[in-house]
Amino acid sequence: MEKKKIPLLHRDGVSYVLPFVLITACFALWGFANDITNPMVKAFAKIFRTTTTEGSLVQVAFYGGYFAMAFPAAVFIRKYSYKAGILLGLALYAVGALLFFPARLTGNFYPFLMAYFILTCGLSFLETSANPYILSMGSEETSTQRLNFAQSFNPIGSLFGMYVAMEFIQSRLSPLDTAGRAALTDAEFARVRDADLTVLIRPYLLIGLVIIALFLLIRFVKMPASADQSHKIDFLPTLRRIFRIPRYRDGVIAQFFYIGAQIMCWTFIIQYGTRIFLGQGMDERAAEVLSQQYNIAAMVLFCASRFICTFLLRYLNPGKLLLILAVAGGVFTLGVIGFTNVFGLYCLVAVSGCMSLMFPTIYGIALKGLGDDAKFGAAGLIMAILGGSVLPPLQAAVIDRGEFFGFPAVNLSFALPLICFAVVALYGYRTRRSA
């Protein structure tokens, strides 16, 4: 079979090298934001003495921002340019990160949710702009490969986010476990809470400054405008037109369930691992730190698998490879549910290797052939990230039950990701020939 090259360096005599590098840096930066946030569900639940369900409001605020801003971002990008959308996204990202400082001064949980929401409004602009921009940097035939390559740098940022969460937040929080915090007086609890919040906000403030630096760099670099062909906004007619395309409409649904599965698997790996290690006699703090190490191992596998899958796409149809990995992810998820020991945790790590291909491949298949309508098409796919806001609280509600007829509820909660992988597998099956 003939290998497919990935042309991205030039188009119509214009170099895309520097723009490609700068936009790819944005992929890494929103990966950082996503994966420093997942462990914060557990951290905020401990800091503010909330339930897992209440702590999962972090994910509701985080991924709700993606949903709320996706179509406004598409309208903005259509009217102006991809570059303008990226700059506004970076600005909102920086503002949201820096708002962690006044949120810390309040000592209240809900201002942090507002900061997360604003931050992810920025991420929504970034993803709505950057993904179709990368797709436009070369021939449509290799667009899915090109996006997979750019998205390969997203888990590198995710790995860094996980590392920062583990080494600079979780390991430096007060060693008091949940029971110990519950026994504190109000004054003692306030002191511990404020100290923990000071630890928590520092990485967000630093990343806010990094984002400002990247904003200035992109602002003064000339970016190619070849993908911006039309600035006419026919919002509703365009939506009606693209949602009549089964490949696109089904792609939005598949993306919703994929993102839900991804966020559930990465958010609740800590709860899953903590239950196992507590059963082995570890204290809660040590169990959480060790579980986060498994989370990092999952992201390392995710990162390596994305580069491997990008290579495999030179030989395999995207829909067919998506189907294979979705089925494999479902099989490993059955192991996560069935095993009540460390083998279940191994299966949960392995699921990440199966997920690596899914987001950019669903994205590329769904947008194939949309041309300039990809700006609005991208918004629908970014709105589908709402799955990361809707589904994790459902899983958290199951986890809070503790047990079902003597079986760990945290294990049974992974039936939700299993359903999600079934939906993705169906999309892969339907597109295995046309993608």
Nearest of 226, 231, 34 to residue 123 by alpha carbon: 34
Structure tokens at 191: 């002191």
Looking at residue 141, the DSSP 8-state letter turns out to be: G
Assigned domain for 348 exists: yes
Tell me, yes or no, whether 16 and 125 share the same domain.
Answer: yes
Write out pLDDT tens, residues 316-325: 889 999 999 9
CATH number for the domain harbouring residue 210: 1.20.1250.20
Mean pLDDT score of the chain, rounded to an integer?
Answer: 86
Tell me, yes or no, whether 128 and 213 share the same domain.
Answer: yes
Residue 202, domain extent: 7-222
Tell me, yes or no, whether 293 and 408 share the same domain.
Answer: yes
Tell me, yes or no, whether 342 and 285 share the same domain.
Answer: yes
The pLDDT assigned to 203 comes to 95
Angle between helices 246-267 and 235-243 (to 10 degrees): 90
The pLDDT assigned to 89 comes to 95
Q: Please give the tally of structural domains in the chain.
A: 2
Q: What percent of the chain has pLDDT over 70?
A: 91
Residue 156 near residue 299 (C-beta atoms within 8 A): no
Please report which confidence band the pLDDT of residue 8 belongs to, taking 50, 70 and 90 as the band edges. very low
Among 222, 248, 276, where does a domain finish?
Answer: 222
Gap between the Cα atoms of 429 and 433, Å rounded: 8
Tell me, yes or no, whether 147 and 266 share the same domain.
Answer: no
**Which of 230-244, 348-362, 369-383 ranks highest by mean pLDDT?**
348-362
Assigned domain for 53 exists: yes
Distance of CA 271 to the CA centre of its chain: 19
Assigned domain for 66 exists: yes
Assigned domain for 258 exists: yes
At residue 26, does pLDDT exceed 80? Answer: yes
Structure tokens at 293: 């190490």
Residue 152 near residue 306 (C-beta atoms within 8 A): yes
Please report which confidence band the pLDDT of residue 253 belongs to, taking 50, 70 and 90 as the band edges. very high
Tell me, yes or no, whether 178 and 237 share the same domain.
Answer: no
The pLDDT assigned to 413 comes to 94
Residue 62 near residue 116 (C-beta atoms within 8 A): yes
Q: What percent of the chain has pLDDT over 90?
A: 38
Among 200, 222, 244, where does a domain finish?
Answer: 222
Tell me, yes or no, whether 237 and 218 share the same domain.
Answer: no
The pLDDT assigned to 79 comes to 83
Is pTM beyond 0.75? Reply is: yes
Tell me, yes or no, whether 253 and 381 share the same domain.
Answer: yes
Least confident of 4-13, 69-78, 180-189: 4-13
Among 172, 198, 222, where does a domain finish?
Answer: 222
Write out pLDDT tens, residues 126-140: 988 887 788 777 666
Tell me, yes or no, whether 148 and 283 share the same domain.
Answer: no
CB contact set of 167 (below 8 Å; sequence gap of 6+): none
Coil, strand or helix: which one is 252? helix
Please report which confidence band the pLDDT of residue 414 belongs to, taking 50, 70 and 90 as the band edges. very high
**Cα separation values, 38 from 31, 243, 263, Å:** 11, 32, 7
At residue 202, does pLDDT exceed 90? Answer: yes
Tell me, yes or no, whether 130 and 258 share the same domain.
Answer: no
The pLDDT assigned to 21 comes to 85
Gap between the Cα atoms of 156 and 263, Å rounded: 17
Residue 276 near residue 157 (C-beta atoms within 8 A): no
Assigned domain for 2 exists: no
Least confident of 66-70, 111-115, 174-178, 306-310: 174-178
The number of C-alpha atoms within 13 Å of 385 and in the hemisphere containing its C-beta is: 29
Assigned domain for 341 exists: yes
Please report which confidence band the pLDDT of residue 9 belongs to, taking 50, 70 and 90 as the band edges. very low
Mean pLDDT of 51-65: 83
Assigned domain for 276 exists: yes
Where are the alpha helices (H) located in 48-108, listed in sequence order? 52-55, 57-79, 82-98, 100-106
Gap between the Cα atoms of 58 and 64, Å rounded: 10
Tell me, yes or no, whether 154 and 245 share the same domain.
Answer: no
At residue 30, does pLDDT exceed 70? Answer: yes
Tell me, yes or no, whether 203 and 300 share the same domain.
Answer: no
At residue 227, does pLDDT exceed 50? Answer: no
Write out pLDDT tens, residues 151-167: 778 888 888 988 898 88
The pLDDT assigned to 11 comes to 55
Write out pLDDT tens, residues 261-301: 998 998 889 889 988 998 888 888 788 888 888 988 998 89
Assigned domain for 227 exists: no
Coil, strand or helix: which one is 34? helix
Please report which confidence band the pLDDT of residue 423 belongs to, taking 50, 70 and 90 as the band edges. very high
- Exposed/middle/buried for residue 72 (C-beta within 10 Å: 0-12, 13-18, 19+): middle
At residue 1, does pLDDT exceed 50? Answer: no
Mean pLDDT of 61-86: 85
The pLDDT assigned to 358 comes to 93
The CB density around residue 415, as the number of other CB atoms within 10 Å, is 15
Nearest of 267, 249, 268 to residue 383 by alpha carbon: 249
Write out pLDDT tens, residues 366-390: 988 777 777 778 888 888 888 888 8
